Every structure is written in C-alpha cells, then in structure tokens.
Amino acid sequence: MPKALWVDASTLCQLRCTGCGFQRNNHRALGAGYLTFQNFKKLVDDNPQVKRIELSNYGEIFLNPELVSIMKYAHEKGVRLTAYNGVNFNTVSDEQLKALVDYGFEGMVVSIDGASNETYVKYRVGGNFERVIDNIRMLLAYREAKGSKYPKVKWKYIIMQHNELEVAKAKQMAKELGIPIKFSLDWDRSFKPTHVDFLKRETGLTALTRKEYTEETKESWCGDVICNNMILAPKINWDGRLLGCCTYSTGDYGVNVFEVGLKKALRSKLYVKSKKCLLKVHPREDVYGDSPCYNCHSRRVREKYGRCLKLKME
C-alpha cells in the first residue's frame, strides 16, 4: 500500500492557457469538479499509512471551496499536502493564504511564464501577473509573521518564444521575492528558441527543447516521475476514479477508490497488469493490451533506450 497519493483537488480552472488541451477539450474524460472534504476525510481515515498527498494536476486547487477544511484535517492527521505539480495562484482568498501557513502546507510551485503582465497573459489567458506576484508577497508575509518555513514556494517559468527575453528579469524578481526559480521546457514540440546562447547562460539548461533533452539524456523531460506515480503515489481523480498517473486524462482504470477503497482499487486486474509491464524492460507491446501505459511517451522513450524504471519518491 502506498504511503503517498495524488488526489486532484480541482479540475476547474479560471484561465484558458493556450497550451492546455485539457481545458480546451472540456476537461476530457475527467469532468469538471472538485474533491469534497467528506471524500478526502474518508480517504485519509481509511488509509492511515498515507502521509503525503499531492493535490494539484489539471485544475487550480484554490478554486476548491472546501480547500481550507481539507488543509486543516490533513494537518490534524499528520498528512503533508503539496501542490508541486503547479498552481496559477491568480485566485486565492485571505483565508486560504493564512491556512497555507497555519496548517503547514508543505510547498507549491507557482507557474509564472513571464516577468510582466504583457508577456504573462499571452500564454496564461485570463490571468494577471501583478495579482499573482501580490498573492505570493502576501503569503510570504504571513509565513514570516508566523515564523514558519512552510509552505515552500517555487517559481516555474516555461520558456516560450514570446518570453525568452524576460528570463533574466524573472530571475531578478524571484531573487527579490526570496524564492527559487526553475525554468521548464515548452510542451510544444514545434518550439525553436531564438536566443539560444542567452537562454542557456541565464537558465543553466543545456537543452532548450524536449526533443533536444531526450537526445542528450536518453530520457524524457519528465524522467521516470510519471511512471513512478503508478507504483509509489497513484493518482486519483477528484471524484474518486483511479487514474494511476498524472498524465492520464482520456479515461480511467474502471474502478472508483471512494466507492471500493484504495486497496481493492489498486488490485484491479488492468491496474496490476500495467504496473507489472512498467517494471520490465522491453515487454512485448501486445502484453499491454488496453493499458493506458501503451501510448505513454515516457515509457516509450525509456524502452527505446533499454532502461529500467527507477523507483524513487520525489
């Protein structure tokens, strides 16, 4: 039984990012909704071995109206909560900001792809750069007043054609805020950077596209993290459907954790078969059958280069 889980707190989002196929395609098969406190409480109570839960994935966790109750109960039960997959932090109440500190929310990544509103909104459509920065400042002020180091906050900056020249400015802003910044690669495989030398110098990256990264390292940009979810931190949809990993959005494993329980769900036939295949090197592709893992880019890259899955909790 896993000691960590991914449970999507919300697939709702107030932005319409240009690269987000999930929102553009009407939430795909996962539906629009949020994790209820009642279901969260039952999941935690029924699985005392679980000590860490990642809440962010396809939506914005702060649009969950029961998030404060979820944070409070997790704190009482000694369960660490994270949002390291990312939040846009455009909409957050004062109550939520204080709860993040008061209830020891471990950490989160804030996705900010630019260093000015003009640049930021070209991708984060419907957002506001200044509002996000103000929300970060308020959170850090609450944290300092409380004398706490939690939540840890990191700035994630996806490098795209329109924001290449604001990389250095973003670094300086992150330094002034007192938070680390991490540069990420564009999902768009057609992206070709213009200011190559500048970007490599400022970001410390040796590859600026996902294709270049794979050719250089013989692994996908996400590495083995996605496949690790299946074994070490299974992903659960907001309504309880078992998804396995953080990229599966076109279906589920045909079993609902909130209805049958985590143990029974993880022992479902298709899910067990998928995990067994992931732990092999070059399994025959017909072995996967109807497993969602068959079309996974991370799996295909790993098997192309004859690598085994490295089991490691991030």
Name the average pLDDT for the chain: 94
Residues in the chain: 314
Q: How many CB atoms lie within 10 A of CB 92?
A: 22
Report the distance separating Cα 137 and Cα 38, nearest Å. Answer: 32
Q: Tell me what pLDDT residue 287 has.
A: 74
Q: pLDDT of 258-304, one tens digit each?
A: 999 999 999 999 999 999 888 886 667 677 778 888 888 888 898 88
Report the distance separating Cα 254 and Cα 54, nearest Å. Answer: 22
Report the distance separating Cα 82 and Cα 75, nearest Å. Answer: 12
- Read off the amino acid at residue 75: H
* Stretch among 34-48, 173-187, 215-229 having the lowest mean pLDDT: 215-229
Residue 314 pLDDT exceeds 60: no
Q: Tell me what pLDDT residue 122 has.
A: 97
Where are the strands (E) in 27-79, listed by range? 52-54
* Stretch among 1-10, 61-70, 173-182, 280-289 having the lowest mean pLDDT: 280-289
Q: Tell me what pLDDT residue 126 has.
A: 96
Residue 23 pLDDT exceeds 90: no
Q: pLDDT of 37-69, one tens digit each?
A: 999 999 999 999 999 999 999 999 999 999 999
Report the distance separating Cα 231 and Cα 271, nearest Å. Answer: 10
* Stretch among 122-136, 153-167, 291-305 having the lowest mean pLDDT: 291-305
DSSP-derived secondary structure letter, 307: P
Residue 106 pLDDT exceeds 60: yes
